[in-house]
Chain A
Amino acid sequence: MRYSGLRVIKEALTGHKGWKHAWRDVEPQVQYDYIVIGGGGHGLATAYYLARNHGAKKIAVLEKGWVGGGNIGRNTTIVRSNYLLDGNEPFYEHSLKLWEGLEQDINYNAMISQRGILNLVHSDAQRDAFVRRGNAMILNGADADLLSTETIQKRYPFLNVNNARFPIKGGLAQHRGGTVRHDAVAWGYARAADQLGVDIIQNCEVTGFRIESGKCLGVETSRGYIAGGKVASCVAGSSGRLMAKANMRLPIESHVLQAFVSEGLKPVLPGVITFGAGHFYCSQSDKGGLVFGGDLDGYNSYAQRGNLPVVEDVCEGAMAIFPMLGRVRLLRMWGGIMDMSMDGSPIIDHTHIKNLYFNGGWCYGGFKATPASGWCYAHLLATDTPHEFAKAYRFDRFEKGQMIDEKGMGNNPQLH
Chain B
Amino acid sequence: MNFTLSWLREFVDFKRSAQELAQTLTMAGLEVESLLALPSRQEKHEDWVMAVAVTPNRGDCLGILGLAREVAALTGGHVRLPPVLPHAKGSGIDRLVDVEILSPDLCPRYSARMVLGVHVAAAPDWMKTRLEACGIRSINNVVDVTNYVMLETGQPLHAFDADRLATKRIVVREAGAIEKLTTLDGVERELAPGDLLICDGATPIALAGVMGGSESEVQWDTHGVLLESAHFHPACVRRAAKRLAIHSEASHRFERGVDPEGTLYALDRAAFLLVEVAGAAPVEGVVDRYPRRAKPASIVLREKKVSALLGVDLPRRETERILKALGMKVRGRSKAAVRVVPPSYRRDLAREADLIEEVARLYGYEKIPSTLPLVRPAGGGLDRRLPRERKLRAFLLGEGLTEMINLPFTSAEMNQRFRGLWGGERRPVAILNPLAQDKAELRLSLIPGLLENLRTNLAHKARSFHGFDFAKVFALDARGAAAEKQQLAGLFYGPRERTGLRSKDGTPPTFLEVKGIIEGIFEVLGIGPEPACSKSDIGAFLHPANAAVVRLGDRDVGYLGEIHPDFCEASGLEPFVVFELDFEGLAEYAPRQLTARPLPRFPCVERDLAVVVDDAFPAERIVRWIKGLNHALIEDVEVFDQYRGSPIPEGKKSLAYTISYRADDRTLTDSEVNQLHQQLAARIGGLFGAQLRM
- A joins B in a complex: no
A interface with B by C-beta (< 8 Å): none
Residues of B within 8 A of A (CB): none
